[in-house]
Amino acid sequence: MQLYGYWRSSATYRVRIALSLKNISYQSIEINLIEKGGEQHSDYFHALNPTELVPVLVDGGLRINQSMVILDYLDEHYPQPLLVPITGEQRYLIRSLAQDIAVDIHPLNNLRVQQFLTHQMKVKECDKQKWLKYWIMEGFESLDEKLKPLAGKFCVGADVTLVDVCLAPQVYNALRVGVDMTKYPTLNRVYQTLMQHPAFIAAQPENQTGAPTN
């Protein structure tokens, strides 16, 4: 199994967490999104995913380019531990909460969006920062409200689920742009717990090849 991704890409970070939780060995192939205009735009990577976004997972003849679909694939083929229950109401609840992050927050703050705001829309740096913080805070406010009655040790109950897999990278981004996580006590508490979990530690951006060492 090969994972094409970037150390700081939060969609790649999600997949690394799942691989780590499921104890699946894989080859990590770095696509540098920053240097030389971005390797995601190379002919080599375009052939893997014409959308020119990471991550891409290759498993034998199978190639998947959407992180949430990669997570589904892993859960359906490597069910130990399951991240989403196979049946029941919690199946849809957990998937919805995960997409509240992966669909309603993350796409708005992706690297290409930041680049478009700066280079095409000529938005000032302070306004770009306002944009980045706004969408995370907007999303975290309702997510914290939703998780308050559901959370145990983790986002939903006592076990790690798909929601935690999506939450950790989004909080990582939030901290980078200076969001005050104490405004979201449930998210903040769970995040602190996740950052003690060996699988999450192994998947952290700073622990990947390609991350700056300083």
Interacting positions 83-122 with its own copies (CB under 8 A): 89, 92-93, 95-96, 99-100, 102-104, 107-108, 113, 116, 120-121
DSSP tag of 64: E
Residue 43 touching its own copies (CB under 8 A): no
- What share of residues in the chain are helix, strand, coil (percent, to 5)? 55, 10, 35
Which alpha helices (H) appear in 78-158, and where do they start and end?
89-102, 111-119, 125-147
Cα–Cα distance for residue pair 136/104, rounded to 1 Å:
9
Comparing CB distances to its own copies, the nearer of 62 and 195 is 62
Residue 65 touching its own copies (CB under 8 A): yes
Residue 37 touching its own copies (CB under 8 A): no
Comparing CB distances to its own copies, the nearer of 108 and 181 is 108
Phi first, then psi, for residue 45 (nearest 5°) are -80, -35
State which of residues 24, 29, 30, 73 lies at the interface with its own copies (CB under 8 A): 73
State which of residues 14, 16, 146, 197 lies at the interface with its own copies (CB under 8 A): 146
Asked if residue 52 lies in contact with residue 45, where contact means CB atoms within 8 angstroms, the answer is: yes
Nearest approach, Cβ of residue 72 and its own copies (Å): 7
Asked if residue 165 lies in contact with residue 17, where contact means CB atoms within 8 angstroms, the answer is: yes
Q: How many C-alpha atoms does 212 have within 13 Å on its Cβ side?
A: 1
Nearest approach, Cβ of residue 64 and its own copies (Å): 5
Residue 195 touching its own copies (CB under 8 A): no
Residue 62 touching its own copies (CB under 8 A): yes
Comparing CB distances to its own copies, the nearer of 87 and 196 is 87
Cα–Cα distance for residue pair 158/57, rounded to 1 Å:
29
Tell the burial category of 110 from Cβ atoms under 10 Å away from its Cβ (0-12, 13-18, 19+): middle
Please work out the total of residues on this chain that contact its own copies, with binding judged by CB under 8 A.
40
What are the residues binding its own copies (CB under 8 A)?
49-53, 61-62, 64-66, 68-69, 72-73, 89, 92-93, 95-96, 99-100, 102-104, 107-108, 113, 116, 120-121, 123, 127, 130-131, 134, 139, 142-143, 145-146
